[in-house]
Chain A
Amino acid sequence: MNLLFRRSLCALIIIIVCVSLGGCGLRQQAREVEQLLVIETLGFDRSAQGVRLSMASSSSSGTDGQPRRLQGEAASVTAAIECIRASISEEELFCPHVGHLLVGEAAARRGLAPLLDYITRAGELRLSVPIYVLREREACEAVLRVGNAQHGICDALRSVDSDLRTRGDGHTVSAAELMRDLARRGSALLCAVELQPSSENDQSAGADEPPLTVVAAGYAVCRDGRLIGYLDREQAIAVGLLCGQSGLCEIVVNDQAGLPVTLHLTGGSTALHPSWDAQGELISLELQIEVQAQIREDAAGATELYYLRGMLERTLAEQVRQVLCLSKQWEADFLGLEEQLSLRASERLGAMEPGFAERWASLPVTVSVSATLTGLGDTEGGA
């Protein structure tokens, strides 16, 4: 037996052993992309059986160019996915590209633990997938009913996501961020959405009811993995300022004549000034907020700027106080004020006994807002 033959025989044996023992070559069949039903949105609700999952593919997936909507119930998330998988015959369910997770309000109130546990253990979904809480509804309602034959919940949530990226009155929160905040602060914010009739005129449907869509609706507040309340879209502006996530958003104030003037917030920041006593105890917290705004609409055009500035400052200060009040009432530092403080005084904060979390509910906080009107729009006066 010559050397070349022996070497070839060895190589052949190694290849056969690798393919047969690895378990990755024979047991997993290769699939064409066209055969996959790529799920982009997953809805999570609780049911009598345990978990109700609803799924939607985007309109670009599948052979007919229409979004597919599916639903299944079982004792766990994995079992529900398998239940849905078994219910479809033409295509294969493919979940690794899920881009949005929608949680119904009732399920969020009962707790997000099963969903988060599935995300971390199963490894099928990404930790960067954003989670939304659907106000006052079950997630399956939105997943199954939003949109029409051409567009579905995936398109609606994609629109919400891209809209919120530039705005200051909302922010999408990923599963990783949620888990991190719950572990670090005990509480966390999630993006809240609500179901609304769409303003689009859907003639193709021919139905009496207009199609539904989802729109951003502030934040959902979770503590210990359960939903405890909501912050509406006006309060979300204050959250953006306090968390350093300010962006573009509109705020309406009244002029001297009581007519509405729309201001466009273009930026803002918050400085925290803690006061410590001689023993190194935190005795109060002062929040100094600076915002920049432009006049967007002022039909009368005769409003004094100092008056508008004052109205804007009062309105924002009130919204910030409301958010702080809710944070104290719920005993949940969902704004991450302790972390922001620790950037300036981590040694003092770490030495405090009892800690910030225990003191937060009774800690005196003062809020001051300073506004700058940086532009009047593309005009010097009214219309």
Chain B
Amino acid sequence: MKAQDRFSLNQLLALCSMLVLTPALRLLPGASARLAGRAGWLSVLTALPFVAAYAAFLWHFQSLRLSDETLPSLWQRALGARVGALTLAAAALWLLFYAGFTLRAGAERLVTTVFPLASRRTLPLPLALIAAVAGAGEARRLCRVAKLVLPLLIGTILLTLAFSLPELHKANLLPLGLRAFPRVLRGSLPTFDAAALALSCLFFLSDGLTAPGRRSSVFIRIALLGILMSLLVAAVIGALGHELAGSLTRPYFTLVRTLVFFYSLERIEALIVALWLFADFLLLATLMLIARRCLAPLWKRPADSPWLKLLCGALPPLLAVLLAPEAEAYAQLSRQIVPAVNLVVCLLMIPGVYVVGRLRKRL
């Protein structure tokens, strides 16, 4: 790890907060409403202990690094050089696939909300080009951009929440009985899914921290983001009802479409959708960067090799162009396949490496 590519825990947490926004807005309001009904907002809070437990595990895992050891090196120490390199490459391929899917999803969001005349095949290309330039750089720069942009997006969410208050109906959020608990628990899965990806990125980038930092900062950040997401889901379900919210593909942006600001300003969804491009760019760039670092051991070249940069920059847009051209296939990919594989990678692969490393007494 280069000495100049270092960042503080606070900067890394800002980046991870940005990373959670794209999958959270894609998954949470709709999936929570479908799985937990009117208790969807509660299911976000229910997921927080599980998210915190996963964060504690990853924090412990990354703290096993020797001084100046990179995360890929830790991974290889746990599994052995060859198996480690192969599994890291598998993780990298998954991250590049996720980046391709994020591009496809971002293009879908822009086409359906702002640019109906744009092509779903060509729109990912400029998005990917900008992200590839950022992803080919240093993690420190992404963290600094995240620190600048995060207040803007959080402020936007808070503003829309404030203006959605008159639209809320109590009957859409209450009553909640004990019978709803199994549904609430099931509804917490999308929240965990969105958070697990961001926490995995935090895990992979943690070797760039200038100082170890305090674990409690991570938990506080998780709690704050959880409350914000819970309020967001409550606003969507409270305004639209869980039946309608569950049937819409992008319920948060649909809610924004209905808001009127100060009795005069309306239809600002295009502006808010455009703001979400920042979150998309950071997610894409981070995934490309981590994938590059994970592929390096198998490639037997340094992570900043131009060929690796080219591969990690070119694969996601290629996937985005080829991925799920039919709407039905895209919906299945978005709602089932990508969240399921993400859970498998986060819950089986990373803990699996830790368990094997412990069994081999290498950690």
Which chain A positions have C-beta within 8 A of B257? 123, 126-127
The A47-79 residues at the B interface (CB cut-off 8 A) are none
By CB atoms of chain A within 10 A, which of B114, B130, B257 has the most?
B257
Interface string of B107-141 (1 = CB under 8 A from A): 00010111101110011011001100100000000
Q: Does B175 contact A (CB under 8 A)?
A: yes
Give which listed residue, A10, A18, A126, A127, contacts B126 with CB less than 8 A.
A18
Q: A14-B133, A23-B122 are in contact. Are A183 and B244 (CB under 8 A)?
A: yes
Closest-by-CB residue of A relative to B260 is A128
Closest-by-CB residue of A relative to B180 is A346
Which chain B positions have C-beta within 8 A of A23? 115, 117-119, 122-123
Say which size band chain A's interface belongs to: 20 to 34
In the complex the two chains form, is B244's CB within 8 Å of A123's CB? no
Majority SS at the chain A contact face: helix
In the complex the two chains form, is A184's CB within 8 Å of B241's CB? yes
Q: Which of A148-156, A219-227, A336-344 contacts B (4 or more CB under 8 A)?
A: A336-344
Q: Does B174 contact A (CB under 8 A)?
A: yes
Give which listed residue, B112, B114, B240, contacts A127 with CB less than 8 A.
B240
Q: Does B358 contact A (CB under 8 A)?
A: no
In the complex the two chains form, is B244's CB within 8 Å of A179's CB? yes
When chains A and B are docked, how far (Å) is the Cα of A22 from the Cα of B115?
9
By CB atoms of chain A within 10 A, which of B133, B171, B239 has the most?
B171
Which chain A positions have C-beta within 8 A of B117? 23-24, 27-28
In the complex the two chains form, is A176's CB within 8 Å of B244's CB? yes
Which chain B positions have C-beta within 8 A of A96? 267
By CB atoms of chain B within 10 A, which of A23, A120, A128, A336 has the most?
A23
Give which listed residue, A27, A120, A123, A339, contacts B171 with CB less than 8 A.
A339
When chains A and B are docked, how far (Å) is the Cα of A27 from the Cα of B172?
41
CB of A377, distance to nearest CB on chain B (Å): 33
Q: Does A383 contact B (CB under 8 A)?
A: no
In the complex the two chains form, is A128's CB within 8 Å of B129's CB? no
When chains A and B are docked, how far (Å) is the Cα of A343 from the Cα of B117?
46
CB of B169, distance to nearest CB on chain A (Å): 8
Q: Does B155 contact A (CB under 8 A)?
A: no
The A111-132 residues at the B interface (CB cut-off 8 A) are 120, 123, 126-128
Interface string of B10-42 (1 = CB under 8 A from A): 000000000000000000000000000000000
The B163-193 residues at the A interface (CB cut-off 8 A) are 167, 171-172, 174-179
When chains A and B are docked, how far (Å) is the Cα of A191 from the Cα of B172?
21
Q: Does B304 contact A (CB under 8 A)?
A: no
In the complex the two chains form, is B126's CB within 8 Å of A22's CB? yes
Q: Does A90 contact B (CB under 8 A)?
A: no
Give which listed residue, B172, B177, B178, contacts A180 with CB less than 8 A.
B172
In the complex the two chains form, is A22's CB within 8 Å of B118's CB? yes
Q: A23-B118, A23-B122, A123-B113 are in contact. Are A18 and B175 (CB under 8 A)?
A: no
In the complex the two chains form, is A128's CB within 8 Å of B167's CB? yes
Which chain B positions have C-beta within 8 A of A176? 239-241, 244, 258
Which chain A positions have C-beta within 8 A of B342? none
Interface string of A325-344 (1 = CB under 8 A from B): 00000000000100100110
The A348-369 residues at the B interface (CB cut-off 8 A) are 350
Closest-by-CB residue of B relative to A339 is B171
Which chain B positions have C-beta within 8 A of A14? 126, 129-130, 133
In the complex the two chains form, is A336's CB within 8 Å of B115's CB? no
Give which listed residue, A97, A183, A343, A347, contacts B174 with CB less than 8 A.
A343
Which chain B positions have C-beta within 8 A of A128? 167, 258
Interface string of B312-345 (1 = CB under 8 A from A): 0000000000000000000000000000000000
In the complex the two chains form, is A347's CB within 8 Å of B178's CB? yes
In the complex the two chains form, is A24's CB within 8 Å of B114's CB? yes
Q: Does B73 contact A (CB under 8 A)?
A: no
Q: Does B209 contact A (CB under 8 A)?
A: no
Interface string of B249-285 (1 = CB under 8 A from A): 0000010011000000011000000000000000000
The B208-255 residues at the A interface (CB cut-off 8 A) are 239-241, 243-244, 247-248, 254
When chains A and B are docked, how far (Å) is the Cα of A18 from the Cα of B114?
16
Known: A21-B125, A127-B254, A127-B257. 11 other contacts (CB 8 A): A14-B130, A22-B126, A23-B119, A24-B117, A28-B115, A176-B239, A183-B241, A183-B244, A336-B171, A346-B176, A347-B178
Q: Which 3 A-B pairs have the closest CB atoms?
A: A23-B118, A180-B241, A183-B243
Where the two chains meet, the residues of A that have a C-beta atom closer than 8 Å to any C-beta of B are: 10, 14, 17-18, 21-24, 27-28, 96-97, 120, 123, 126-128, 176, 179-180, 183-184, 336, 339, 342-343, 346-347, 350
Chain A to chain B contacts (Cβ below 8 Å), 8 pairs: A22-B122, A27-B117, A96-B267, A176-B239, A176-B241, A346-B175, A346-B179, A347-B177
